[in-house]
Structures are given as structure tokens and as C-alpha cells.
Amino acid sequence: MALSKNFGKTIVLLILIIILAFGGLLWFDFLGLIHVKKMFSPVYKLFGMQPQTSVTSTSTKPLFADLDQDRLTSSANHLRFSNRNLKKEKKIL
């Protein structure tokens, strides 16, 4: 009697482990850490979904950002705005 009860628990836990493993594979595939889209394409089709595909940027012009210049521009704008507000307050007083 006890043997069959333990056997049932073992089967249920093994099925749970398998489900969690497949769910983890799907999640890591969604995050882009592993690539198992080909293996799971029948599962996606079963649920009426299309496998997610990644699109690579084909821009020929590289992006260059000058963060120091952006910070200086932002600071200058803030100073102009503050100076304008101080002049308005000085006129009111």
C-alpha cells in the first residue's frame, strides 16, 4: 500500500520537474539566452502562436553619442531657464 502511494508521488513529481524544465527553456528562449525555437515550433503551432523571431539592425551608419556634450547642453538649458525665472521674480519684487 505504501509503495504504490510513494510511486504515485514520484510520478507526479517527475512530471512536475519535466513541465518546469520545459517552461524554463521557453522562458530562457523568450529572453534570448538560449535558442530552442526550432525545437518548440510544434508547441507554438499547437497553441496557434508564431515563434518569436529576432530582427538584426542593418543600419550602415553607426550610432555615436557624445554624452558629455549632451550633459553640457542640458546644464546650459537649465541655467538659462533658472536665470529667466530669477529675472521674473526680481521684476515682481
Per-residue pLDDT tens for 21-36?
989 998 888 788 888 8
What pLDDT is stored for residue 18 in this prediction? 96
Residue-level pLDDT at 81: 94
Counting as low any pLDDT under 50, the low residues of the chain are none
Residue with C-alpha cell 530552442? 36
- Please list, in sequence order, all residues whose beta carbon lies within 8 angstroms of the beta carbon of residue 1, skipping any fewer than 6 positions away: none
pLDDT for the residue numbered 50? 77
Q: What's the chain's length in residues? A: 93
Amino acid, single-letter form, for residue 34: I
pLDDT on residue 16: 97
Mean pLDDT rounded to a whole number for the chain: 83
Residue 47 has a pLDDT of 80
